[in-house]
Amino acid sequence: MIATSFTTLVGIGAPVQLAAMPGITTPALVAAVADAGGLGMLGAAMLAPAALDAALGELAERTRGAVGVNFLMPFLDPAALDVAARRARVVELFYAEPDAALVRRARAHGAVVGWQVGSLREALAAERAGCDYVVAQGAEAGGHVRGETSLLPLLSQVLGALRVPVVAAGGIATARSLAAVLACGCGAARVGTRFVAAAESGAHPAYVAALLAASAADTCLTQAFSHGWPDAPHRVLRSAIAAAEACSESVVGELAIGGEGMPVERFSPVPPTIDTTGRVEAMALYAGESVGDVERVAPAAAIVAELVTGAERLLRAAASR
């Protein structure tokens, strides 16, 4: 395992944070990453406080590892934030200007608090707001993207300006990319696309198959899947946009939430999960530019081990030169 400022802060052995992907990061996936020594993150964008409390209760039974909860600010329920801050080790917020009052509210319950940002300006604002760490997200990232700068130029700006640990996000799916961000001073890497293809993922099999067949050139940054969340750029597979544009129906499928069916509107930002039915290929198939490195389905523990042991080997070899 690799010790860094971030692993010490949150009490983990592996400098790997699971990207929180609502519907995809199942309790099984979160627990598997936590058991492997990483930081398992649960996406809470669509969870009511009671449902979040139940999910965290299930996670407490599944793992003794570190678990966090990520909130998307446009959909934040303050009551759910309180639940997460009381029950999870980490609370993370994304997609708005850093808010000192929310940071204080979460920290008052004992949580470690982070904010995901896309620019140096937002990173400095997050540190001023009292965040314990910052996630610097490059434009290579899959899912919703906050900034316009690629990861390495962003890290070059942020790492020299902040005192708190920095987690790198965007285009990281291999041991070599993990070693690279650790070598330049990051405390960990946030990994999403690689874990969509984990055995414990909640992604629909057709979504996983599309990732396995794709390359970086098959992704694009767009605002296409903006029904219900406008003006929020995101990176998806180009094939998903083409399939959605070819559909004439206003509803392309149905998603099961809490045992009940919810229609998936055309160009909805909701990704297809195992329980989704309908035109899966026309839904939001989020993918980062690291998608070409996603070559097979593997258990989450094996993915963490491959990333960390490989990064350790590369860093030792670099140090001996």
Q: Are residues 189 and 90 in the same domain?
A: yes
What pLDDT sits at residue 241? 98
Q: Are residues 179 and 37 in the same domain?
A: yes
Helix (H, G, I), strand (E, B) or coil at 6: helix
Helices (H), 109-189: 120-128, 151-158, 175-183
* Percent of the chain at pLDDT exceeding 70: 99
The pLDDT of 291-296, averaged and rounded, is 97
pLDDT at 258 over 90: no
What pLDDT sits at residue 47? 86
Q: What is the pTM of this model?
A: 0.96
Quote the number of domains for the chain: 2
- Whether the CB-CB separation of 12 and 39 falls below 8 Å is answered with yes
Long-range contacts of the stretch 206-212 (C-beta < 8 A, 24+): 206/272, 206/280, 206/281, 207/271, 207/272, 207/280, 207/283, 207/285, 208/297, 210/237, 210/239, 210/240, 210/281, 210/285, 210/287, 211/237, 211/285, 211/287, 211/291, 211/294, 212/294, 212/295, 212/296, 212/297
Q: Are residues 23 and 168 in the same domain?
A: yes
For residue 126, what are the domain limits? 5-199+294-319
Q: Are residues 181 and 305 in the same domain?
A: yes
pLDDT band (50, 70, 90) for residue 320: confident
The pLDDT tens digits of the residues spanning 59-93 come to: 999 999 999 999 999 999 999 999 999 999 999 99
Q: Are residues 50 and 155 in the same domain?
A: yes
Q: Are residues 86 and 179 in the same domain?
A: yes
CATH code, 174:
3.20.20.70
Name every residue whose Cβ is closer than 8 Å to that of residue 79 and which is 6 or more positions away in sequence: 49
Enumerate the β-bridge partners of residue 254.
263, 277
What pLDDT sits at residue 303? 98
Q: Are residues 299 and 274 in the same domain?
A: no
φ, ψ of residue 169 to 5 degrees: the values are -140, 140
Q: Are residues 42 and 190 in the same domain?
A: yes
* Percent of the chain at pLDDT exceeding 90: 95
Helix (H, G, I), strand (E, B) or coil at 252: strand
Summary mean pLDDT of the chain: 96
Look-up: residue for tokens 């009551």?
79
What pLDDT sits at residue 260? 76
How far, in Å, CA of 272 to CA of 237, rounded?
A: 13
pLDDT at 177 over 90: yes
Nearest partner of 100 among 125, 137, 75, judged by Cα: 125
Q: Are residues 272 and 153 in the same domain?
A: no
Q: Are residues 139 and 112 in the same domain?
A: yes
pLDDT band (50, 70, 90) for residue 159: very high
How many other C-beta atoms lie within 10 A of the C-beta of residue 292? 17
Helix (H, G, I), strand (E, B) or coil at 189: strand
Q: Are residues 176 and 123 in the same domain?
A: yes
How far, in Å, CA of 249 to CA of 260, rounded?
A: 21
Q: Are residues 209 and 283 in the same domain?
A: yes
The pLDDT of 248-254, averaged and rounded, is 94
